[in-house]
Structures are given as structure tokens and as C-alpha cells.
Chains A and B, each alone.
Chain A
Amino acid sequence: GAVVSQHPSWVICKSGTSVKIECRSLDFQATTMFWYRQFPKQSLMLMATSNEGSKATYEQGVEKDKFLINHASLTLSTLTVTSAHPEDSSFYICSALGDRSVAFFGQGTRLTVV
């Protein structure tokens, strides 16, 4: 299957700082990538749809100024959590659609804000 690489796999940051998470499709081009957030023992919650060359589409309740998404190329989307707070601590996962709408996921990033 297609490979999606997400980096970093974990990060600890101080309150008020910003953190950037990268998502790369390694062996295919992805015009669309998705960013999810997952709380413990819960399913994936879609945050936004990242479209190459255009603005991301955010789900209701997700602050676009806090979660900045950039999809500058067909193989890279980034999520920047700005002015992070402890309540932003979570597991963030990206995915990209491969052939026949099969979604392939990055390894996820565990963010801890202290």
C-alpha cells in the first residue's frame, strides 16, 4: 500500500509556543490530505481537509487561526498548532487518499503541551 510519513511522532512543547507537524505522501501524489485528532479511547475526529494549492476546509468548531494548515505541494501538508495550550495535547493523525479512495495514514503525532 501507499506510504504516508508523519513527523514528528511525538513532541513536548511549552504553553504559548507553536508546533509544526508534517505529513508526506512518499510514493504517490495527494491533492487532498486530512487531519484528524484523536482523544483516548475515542474514534478519529476530522479537523480539516487540506487541499493542495488552496485553503483548507475546516470542520465546525475547529479554529482555523489556531490550527494552521498548509498544503504547498502534492506530497506535503503541514499542521501548525499555534499558541499551544495544555488542552491541545492530543494525538494528531494525517491521512491521504490513494487509489480507489483508500485512506492511508501517517504514524500520528502525540503532542503534549506543558
Chain B
Amino acid sequence: EDKVVQSPLSLVVHEGDTVTLNCSYEVTNFRSLLWYKQEKKAPTFLFMLTSSGIEKKSGRLSSILDKKELFSILNITATQTGDSAVYLCAVPPGLISGYALNFGKGTSLLVTP
């Protein structure tokens, strides 16, 4: 059975800190891993990772995938209160598209002033 595990489940940091969120996965026929940010409403897409060792970057957020060790990390540098959200990691099942993503339980990040 496919599995996506995120850690930590929750995290409280001060503004300016750097955080690292973890996502490990077990999936048959891996294609990609996706990161989403969910604030009060629905998740918004951050990154899609398909290849090991290639960092994806967007502003203060970056992510990298290790296909050998089956995990990904999401880094946020110089955190701001607006980064407070639940960060979700997801993996599509199998090689055939058209199936719902397998989500982890999420990491709830709170950035305090």
C-alpha cells in the first residue's frame, strides 16, 4: 500500500528562523512528488519534483528529492508570519494518471512574530 509520511506534524518557530519539513514515501512506480501549502482555504501548488538532487526554488522556499532514500525536504528560509500554514506532501499513485494523490497528514507550521 502506498504511504506518505510527513514530519514533524507541527512546528512553531520565530520569524527569521529557517525550517525544514520532511516527507518520506513508499509508492509503487514512483513518478513525482508534490508539495502544497494550505492556509485557510484549499491547497495551493508549490513544487513538483521528479528527479533526485535537483533543487526547485521559489523565493525563500526550496525543495529537493532523494529517490534513493525515498524522501523529500521543503526548506523555508527567513520565515515570515505569512508562511504559517499546513504544508502537504503528495505522491500520485502508479504510472497511470487519473488517480487521486496520496497525501501525507501535513506539517502545521506556525511562525510567531
Q: Give A87-114 interface residues, CB cut-off 8 Å to B.
A: 93, 95, 97, 100-108
B41 within 8 A of A: yes
A15 within 8 A of B: no
| Of the residues B44, B97, B106, contact of A97 by C-beta under 8 Å | B97
Contact with A along B8-47 (1 / 0, CB 8 A): 0000000000000000000000011010100001111100
Quote the shortest CB–CB distance from A111 to chain B (angstroms): 14
Interface size on A, residues (CB 8 A): 24
Q: Give A3-22 interface residues, CB cut-off 8 Å to B.
A: 6, 9
A34 within 8 A of B: yes
Residue of B nearest to A49 (CB): B100
Contact with A along B84-101 (1 / 0, CB 8 A): 000010101000011111
Residue of A nearest to B92 (CB): A101
Q: Give B75-113 interface residues, CB cut-off 8 Å to A.
A: 88, 90, 92, 97-101, 103-106, 108
Is chain B's interface secondary structure helix, strand, loop, or mixed overall? Answer: loop
CB neighbours of B44 from chain A (8 A): 105
Bound complex: CA of A13 vs CA of B13, how far in Å?
Answer: 39
Residue of A nearest to B50 (CB): A100
| Of the residues A41, A100, A108, contact of B108 by C-beta under 8 Å | A41
| Of the residues B32, B45, B100, B108, contact of A1 by C-beta under 8 Å | B45
A77 within 8 A of B: no
Q: Give A40-98 interface residues, CB cut-off 8 Å to B.
A: 41-44, 46, 49, 93, 95, 97
A-B contact pairs, 19 of them (CB 8 A): A1-B45, A31-B98, A32-B98, A34-B100, A41-B108, A42-B105, A43-B88, A43-B104, A43-B105, A44-B88, A49-B99, A95-B100, A101-B92, A101-B101, A103-B34, A103-B100, A105-B36, A106-B42, A107-B42
Nearest first, the 7 A-B pairs at minimum CB distance are A105-B42, A108-B42, A101-B92, A34-B100, A93-B42, A32-B98, A43-B105
